A and B are shown apart, each in its own frame.
Chain A
């Protein structure tokens, strides 16, 4: 592997401090400048469920779109999709689960029902020529069901891919996964979806993220989701960390001689900016080490 794409997840959604639109816009602009090829901008879910995302339109219109950078947005259903397109979205993402219980608790319907909802979004997106990215959550474990079978993950990934998603991001939602489980899960999914269309979205709740990402890379994956400063705690484990920090991922990739196009210093600048705005400490160890306190 010699080139890996780092996708920036906008996980401000899980931060408890409400952040004004200008701050979100500035952050996204800084991340674009840092060289990230994909920056997830916002989410078109109902603000009733996620108040942090109420300013979705303002953010979409306010960001400075850098040439060559994609700004996908989450669209859980047709309504959200239409609002997103109206606000200028050029790429969307849909979120499935590999666990029935998680699907019911998280989006109030079964996995099958959610896939049917997504079909509607897919049809509209195809007509509009808008690419769709698919997410599968709980790929290495579920907060309710516990163990999740690799076969189930492969099944959901296959459905999303055959529906028309150009890429499937496999999420270790509660960070319980370890390298063995990652390898096993990827082997099952690779039988149904070409590895070039796969991404990994690892949470660092148990400190396993970088090790899991490493084995994913060794097994052919070349797209990695991460979050600047490791923003976004884990809603299922109070006080535990969530997303893996982009700075730490990029540090590892560069150390492996892998090209990412990301400027680590500019990335760290974006990280310290958002941490100051949120008045919280960074979750990135690279940022902590580089900061001479």
Chain B
């Protein structure tokens, strides 16, 4: 403790010290930053366009269009396509046709089609509609949790416990999401320790994977590294995924940082569907095309056929009558 200030020496344990003075962690811990040369050989892409993407599009999309989009995506080599959300249509009108969509899609044997199930009722409806994978959506920010799903983080965990326990009985795997992992539109900065707490809870409850979401895209390579450093100190990195929004153009750099820190599951949305509900006119999800382009260029396997994803993106953009958010799609068309 040679060059640690005297005022700090009065603390007997590091935990209290770091708790009271968060800045002191850099004095005490050896920070493991991104490993510049190390990248995974394979990255699993979780396509969230049909759910997270469409959910945030203003235009109402007809059921047949949703079904066709998912069917096109199934042909691209993607192994996970989030199909829809079993939330009340009162809250999310775009997802009101969840049952029809899930029943209408052509489910390929090597592809999984998870659906969001915010509560037990949603879960039961999903199972009746044929769901074989579900997801629950928590938050690292109390304010966001209250504003977004009308309850505290703790209450949401209790709701999820009921879903996960029913899912276990039905042999249905559950994926967890943690939003606001790099910042909250209401609270501002979010402590990595807080993210860690929520991730651990979801894993303990029984989620097989937790996707860390930069909900408003404010994160940078710096905050991504700091957050992952904290989370991976307590949970195995293979249970983590990153869900980066490109609102500030930082998504690919953030994803790259996550890969360097051992993450090998990346969420993205075809054509970058889904604006950001917290910043009018700003973009939201990172485009699958741009992510796949990067990974391919780096020699990282994804199993995905980029040209087919671009086609699916073109299809949905025509249907939505909006330009793509994917730079790769735009450049390729040019």
Is the beta-carbon distance between B221 and A288 smaller than 8 angstroms?
A: no
Is the beta-carbon distance between A285 and B283 smaller than 8 angstroms?
A: yes
Indicate if B15 sits at the interface (CB-CB under 8 A).
Answer: no
Indicate if B170 sits at the interface (CB-CB under 8 A).
Answer: no
A59 to chain B, nearest CB (A): 29
The stretch that binds A, out of B78-86, B88-96, B232-240, B248-256, is B248-256
Is the beta-carbon distance between A214 and B257 smaller than 8 angstroms?
A: yes
Is the beta-carbon distance between A248 and B250 smaller than 8 angstroms?
A: yes
Is the beta-carbon distance between B297 and A218 smaller than 8 angstroms?
A: no
Q: Interface size of A by Cβ–Cβ distance < 8 Å?
A: 41
Looking at the complex, which one of A206, A240, A251, A291 makes contact with B281 (CB distance below 8 Å)?
A: A291
Is the beta-carbon distance between B331 and A175 smaller than 8 angstroms?
A: yes
Q: Given that A255-B222, A285-B249 are contacting pairs, would A208 and B294 also be in contact in the complex, using a CB cutoff of 8 Å?
A: yes
Is the beta-carbon distance between B280 and A208 smaller than 8 angstroms?
A: no
Specify which chain B residues have a CB less than 8 angstroms from the CB of A285 in the assembled complex. 246-249, 282-283
Indicate if B179 sits at the interface (CB-CB under 8 A).
Answer: no
Give the CA-CA distance A234 to B332 in the complex, in Å.
Answer: 12
Specify which chain B residues have a CB less than 8 angstroms from the CB of A286 in the assembled complex. 248-249
Q: Given that A181-B297, A257-B222 are contacting pairs, would A240 and B331 also be in contact in the complex, using a CB cutoff of 8 Å?
A: yes
Indicate if B287 sits at the interface (CB-CB under 8 A).
Answer: yes
Specify which chain B residues have a CB less than 8 angstroms from the CB of A214 in the assembled complex. 221, 253, 256-257
Indicate if A180 sits at the interface (CB-CB under 8 A).
Answer: yes
Give the CA-CA distance A31 to B322 in the complex, in Å.
Answer: 33
A236 to chain B, nearest CB (A): 9
Is the beta-carbon distance between B223 and A177 smaller than 8 angstroms?
A: no
Is the beta-carbon distance between A205 and B282 smaller than 8 angstroms?
A: no
Looking at the complex, which one of B246, B294, B334 makes contact with A179 (CB distance below 8 Å)?
A: B294
Specify which chain A residues have a CB less than 8 angstroms from the CB of B333 in the assembled complex. 239
Is the beta-carbon distance between B294 and A211 smaller than 8 angstroms?
A: yes
Indicate if A204 sits at the interface (CB-CB under 8 A).
Answer: yes
Is the beta-carbon distance between A210 and B223 smaller than 8 angstroms?
A: no
B32 to chain A, nearest CB (A): 14
Give the CA-CA distance A232 to B272 in the complex, in Å.
Answer: 23
A-B contact pairs, 6 of them (CB 8 A): A180-B298, A214-B253, A238-B334, A255-B221, A289-B283, A293-B280
